[in-house]
């Protein structure tokens, strides 16, 4: 583990009743990088963030954030980071500007900077024309942008983003990813969690894949893809899709893993070309029609499936969004 | 350091007042509650208003403060807005002081409205203005922290309201609001002396009427200060425990 990391976790564990949410995590985040925690819902991503930002006390292990021990110096650690939780939880009754000023007050920003800093952030996040609009009247994308702006009001060196694009439309999500890339250019270290493989590939300098509370692997998206470069990937459009289809395919010699991604069957193996005939025969025998077959260059999604055994399709399921709140 | 925490507690209270307490429906409810309480008892017994006036002021403060403190905290917990405060570099103690300050300011204003009605409309004379002011202030903080204690221990607004009523309604009958506590059976007197409204009403009664006290008004005030600290510390312990339990 890099002892100079701006975020360092050692042996972090947290249990809720019978569930081991996070199990002895060790990782280090370098200053200025975008570090992603990638995993399916319930993998322990949010629990990890909550421990790192002092919202949750770990059962065991230590974490240093910006040089502060989050257990022994929680107030100092909190003061040096910005946190964007999964729900956009600013105050619905307050305007955009009032929300930013309130955050500046909570983070002890000097009074003379409240309004200029608020206007600077509203300008940067393209919300200046709505500075007097109440948060509760904003669209989901605008709420998300303002929540990120609020987390930056005290100019933190580290920004924690929990599932930043969950529930957003394609355009808002794209805009937010541009915002995150821009933060990196300004030297802000970003720690983000996501269940979206494409998002991790687009944004992150390094990715830690977490499944059932344990980190399976940490590396750059390129290196993770490299780890599956020997793997051939076949994508097949077939109909119908019986639930047992992936399992039926995995018994064919040469097929190491089968999964359904969107409405296509994806097969992984070292020498799949030699297995095409038995694959089609197996499909025919089950009364499944094959419409097309493509070979693909392995992506991070393929690396994820290969390394974790988790179906990529399960990663596409968003967590339910809280209703009744401002977010 | 201390000054910074006090300043932040003030900002939290100011935000609560702006976002929740100073809304037209709450202001109208806050004005209507004491008027309705006092008119109801005045129409029943016009001569007796001076005797039960202090109790009505205390009761008005109890209901308005505990209700609002419990609603605001439960609501913010429900919408994750309370988490916003937990993520900020401030102590849990400061958060609760800020929340208590906002609720107490609202309760104090409600108590003042009830007091003004009794003093100016029904012509009551204030015997000890300073102890009256201290009693009003301390009572509003005691009831604010009672409301906070109830709300930090529950998850939903309706639970907070149900639990509030569990404490509030018995207090009306056990704390000397309508009849002096000494006239009650001993067992009820013992329960009554364990409840903060007893000391609030007793201090208000002596400060307003100069008679009818059970114990000296400054002793009442001292005990109210003790309740204030005790309720705050218990609320803090539960709040700390609950914030660590949430996943």
User: How does DSSP assign A62-104, residue by residue?
Assistant: EEEETTEETTT-HHHHHHTEEEE-SS--S-TTSBHHHHHHHHH
Structural contact between residues A50 and A56, judged by C-beta atoms closer than 8 angstroms: yes
B247: closest CA of chain A, how far (Å): 7
For residue B78, tell me if it sits in a domain. Answer: yes
Residue A111 has pLDDT above 90, yes or no: yes
Q: How far apart (Å, rounded) are the C-alpha atoms in residues A9 and A32?
A: 17
Chain A contact for B10 (CB, 8 A cutoff):
no
Rounded to whole angstroms, how far apart are CA atoms A115 and A255? 61
The yes-or-no verdict on residue A319 having pLDDT over 80 is no
Tell me the residue range of the domain where B64 lies: 2-240
Q: Read off the pLDDT of residues A204-228 as tens digits, 9 standing for 90 and up.
A: 999 999 988 999 989 998 888 877 7
A283/B158 Cα distance (integer angstroms): 57
Percent of the residues in chain B that have a pLDDT greater than 70, as a whole number: 98
B86 touches chain A (CB under 8 A): yes
User: What is the reported pTM?
Assistant: 0.83
Residue A323 has pLDDT above 50, yes or no: no
Cis, bond preceding A160 (omega within 30 deg of 0): no
Structure-token pair, residue A182: 């821009």
Q: Give tens-digit pLDDT for B64-119.
A: 898 888 888 888 888 888 889 999 999 999 999 999 999 999 999 989 988 988 88
pLDDT of A180 strictly over 60: yes
Average pLDDT over residues B126-149: 94
List, in order of start, the domains of chain A with CATH numbers: 7-225 (3.40.50.300), 230-297 (3.30.70.980)
Note whether A307 and A227 are within 8 A (CB).
yes
Residue B245 lies in a domain: no
* Region label for A54, one of left (φ > 0), alpha (ψ between -120 and 50) or beta (otherwise): left
Task: Report the length, in residues, of chain A.
Answer: 327
Q: Domain for residue B234, yes or no?
A: yes
Q: Specify which residues A25 forms β-bridges with.
A: A12
| A326 interaction partners in chain B (CB closer than 8 Å) | 79, 81
Contact A94/B15, CB-based, under 8 Å? yes
**CB B80 to CB A53 under 8 A?**
no
Residue B169 makes CB contacts below 8 A (sequence gap 6+) with none
Q: Is the pLDDT of residue A60 over 70?
A: yes
Chain B nearest-CA distance from A168, in A, is 19
With a pLDDT cut of 90, the percent of chain A lying above it is 50
Question: Between A274 and A191, whose confidence is greater?
Answer: A191
Q: How distant, in Å, are the alpha carbons of A180, A183, A304 from that of A159?
A: 10, 9, 25
Could B8 and A108 be called an inter-chain contact, meaning their C-beta atoms sit closer than 8 Å? yes
A273 burial (CB, 10 Å; 0-12 / 13-18 / 19+) is: exposed
Instruction: At A254, give phi and psi (nearest 5°).
Output: 100, -20
* B246 assigned to some structural domain: no
Pick B77 or A274 by higher pLDDT: B77
> Under an 8 A CB cutoff, do A75 and B247 touch?
no
Looking at residue A326, its pLDDT comes to 29
| pLDDT at residue A290 is higher than 90 | no
pLDDT confidence of A131, banded at 50, 70, 90?
Answer: very high
- List all residues 6 or more positions away from B102 whose beta carbon is below 8 Å from its beta carbon: B12, B13, B14, B15, B16, B17, B20, B21, B72
Q: What is the pLDDT of residue B236?
A: 95
**CB A210, CB A43: distance < 8 Å:** yes
Q: How far is C-alpha B212 from the chain's CA centre?
A: 22
Task: Verify whether the Cβ–Cβ distance A93 to B18 is below 8 Å.
Answer: yes
Residue A317 pLDDT: 58
pLDDT of residue A327: 27
Mean pLDDT computed over every residue of chain B:
87
For residues B200-225, give the mean pLDDT. Answer: 90
Total domains present in chain B:
1
Number of A to B CB contacts under 8 A, please give it.
Answer: 78
Mean pLDDT in residue range B11-26:
87
Residue A292's H or E segment, with its range, is strand A289-296
CB B44 within 8 A of CB A120: no
Which residues in chain B are contacts of A108 at CB distance < 8 A?
4, 8, 89
Q: What would you measure as the largest C-alpha separation in chain A, in angstroms?
A: 75
CA dihedral B74→B76→B77→B78, nearest 10 degrees, is: 90
Residue A236 tokens, joined: 């097949």
* Mean pLDDT for the stretch of residues A162-191: 89
Which pair of tokens denotes residue A40?
A: 């399916």
**Residue A267 and residue A105: Cα distance in Å, rounded?**
55
**CA proximity to A8, closest of A54, A55, A68, A58:** A68
Question: CA–CA distance from A286 to each of A194, A242, A245, A269, A279 (Å)?
Answer: 37, 9, 9, 21, 11
pLDDT above 80: residue A265:
yes
> Quick check: A106 and B8 CB within 8 A?
yes
β-bridge mates for residue A189, sequence order: A158
CA angle A67, A72, A73 (to 5 degrees): 55
Please name the residue ranges forming H helices in A126-169. Answer: 140-151
**Residue B247 placed within a domain:** no
Q: Is residue B105 part of a domain?
A: yes
- Residue B90 domain flag: yes
* Whole-angstrom distance, CA of residue A139 vs CA of residue A228: 40
Cβ-nearest to A16 among B23, B91, B247: B247
Rounded to the nearest 10 degrees, the angle between the axes of helix B217-245 and helix B129-152 is 20
Question: What pLDDT was estimated at residue B53?
Answer: 85
The pLDDT assigned to A36 comes to: 95
pLDDT at residue B199 above 80? Answer: yes
- Give the integer Cα–Cα distance in Å for B202 and B176: 8
pLDDT of amino acid A46 = 92
**Residues B144 and B196 sit within 8 Å (Cβ to Cβ):** no
pLDDT above 90 (res B122): no
Residues ≥6 apart with Cβ < 8 Å to B162: none
Section B28-46 average pLDDT:
77
Contact status of B90 with chain A (Cβ, < 8 Å): yes
Task: Tell whether the model's pLDDT for residue A155 goes beyond 90.
Answer: yes
Nearest chain B residue to A74 by CA: give it: B89
- At residue A325 the predicted structure's pLDDT band, cuts being 50, 70 and 90, is very low
**Average pLDDT over every residue of A21-25:** 92
Residues 6+ apart with CB under 8 A from B100: B69, B141, B144, B145, B148, B232
Provide DSSP, B153-186. Answer: T-SSHHHHHHHHHHHHHHHHHHTTSSS-GGGS-H
Query: Measuring CA to CA, which residue among A103, A55, A45 is closest to residue A75?
Result: A55
> What percent of chain A is predicted at pLDDT more than 70?
94
Residues 6 or more apart whose Cβ sits within 8 Å of residue A4: A30
A318 pLDDT band, cuts 50/70/90, is: low
**Minimal-distance CA residue of chain B relative to A57:** B244
Q: In this complex, is the C-beta atom of A167 within 8 Å of any C-beta atom belonging to chain B?
A: no
């Amino acid at each position: 583990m890099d002892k100079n990391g701006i975020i360092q976790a050692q042996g972090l564990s947290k249990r809720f009743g019978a569930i081991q949410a996070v199990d002895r995590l060790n990782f280090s985040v370098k200053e200025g990088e975008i570090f992603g925690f990638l995993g399916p819902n319930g993998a322990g991503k949010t629990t990890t963030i909550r421990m790192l930002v002092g919202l949750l006390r770990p059962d065991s292990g230590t974490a240093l954030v910006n040089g502060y021990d989050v257990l022994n110096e929680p107030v100092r650690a909190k003061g040096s980071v910005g946190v964007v939780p999964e729900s956009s939880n600013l105050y619905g009754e307050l305007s955009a500007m009032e929300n930013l000023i309130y955050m500046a007050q909570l983070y002890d920003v000097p009074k003379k900077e409240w309004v200029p800093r608020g206007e600077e952030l509203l300008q940067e996040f393209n919300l200046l024309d709505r500075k007097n609009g109440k948060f509760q009247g904003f669209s989901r994308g605008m709420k998300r942008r303002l929540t990120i702006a609020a987390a930056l009001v005290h100019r933190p060196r580290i920004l924690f983003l929990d599932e930043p694009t969950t529930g957003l439309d394609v355009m808002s999500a794209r805009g937010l990813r541009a915002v995150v890339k821009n933060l990196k250019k300004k030297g802000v270290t970003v720690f983000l969690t996501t269940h979206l493989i494409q998002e991790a590939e687009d944004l992150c300098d390094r990715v830690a894949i977490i499944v059932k509370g344990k980190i399976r692997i940490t590396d750059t998206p390129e290196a993770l893809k490299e780890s599956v470069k020997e793997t051939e990937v076949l994508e097949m459009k077939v109909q119908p899709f019986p639930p047992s289809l992936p399992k039926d395919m995995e018994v064919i010699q040469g097929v190491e893993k089968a999964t359904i991604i969107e409405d296509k069957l994806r097969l992984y193996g070292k020498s799949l070309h030699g297995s095409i005939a038995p694959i089609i025969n197996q499909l025919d025998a089950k009364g499944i029609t094959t419409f097309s077959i493509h070979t693909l260059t392995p992506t991070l999604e393929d690396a994820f499936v290969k390394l974790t055994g988790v179906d990529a399709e399960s990663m596409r399921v968003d967590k339910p969004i809280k209703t009744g709140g401002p977010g | 350091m201390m000054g910074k925490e006090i300043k932040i507690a003030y900002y939290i209270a100011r935000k609560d007042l702006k976002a929740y307490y100073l809304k037209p429906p709450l202001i109208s409810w806050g004005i209507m509650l004491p008027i309705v309480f006092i008119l109801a008892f005045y129409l029943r017994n016009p001569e007796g208003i001076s005797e039960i006036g202090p109790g009505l002021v205390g009761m008005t403060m109890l209901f308005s403060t505990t209700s609002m403190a419990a609603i605001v905290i439960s609501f913010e917990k429900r919408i994750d807005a309370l988490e916003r405060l937990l993520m900020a570099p401030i102590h849990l103690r400061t958060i609760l002081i800020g929340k208590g300050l906002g609720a107490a300011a609202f309760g104090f204003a409600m108590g003042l409205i009830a007091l003004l009605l009794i003093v100016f409309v029904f012509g009551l004379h204030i015997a000890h203005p300073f102890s009256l002011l201290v009693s009003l202030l301390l009572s509003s903080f005691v009831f604010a922290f009672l409301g906070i204690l109830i709300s930090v221990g529950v998850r939903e607004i309706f639970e907070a309201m149900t639990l509030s009523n569990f404490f509030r309604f018995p207090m009306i009958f056990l704390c000397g609001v309508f009849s002096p506590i000494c006239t009650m059976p001993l067992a009820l007197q013992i329960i009554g002396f364990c409840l903060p409204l007893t000391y609030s009403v007793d201090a208000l009664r002596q400060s307003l009427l100069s008679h009818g006290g059970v114990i000296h008004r400054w002793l009442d005030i001292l005990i109210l200060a003790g309740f204030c600290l005790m309720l705050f510390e218990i609320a803090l312990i539960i709040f700390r425990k609950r914030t660590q339990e949430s996943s």
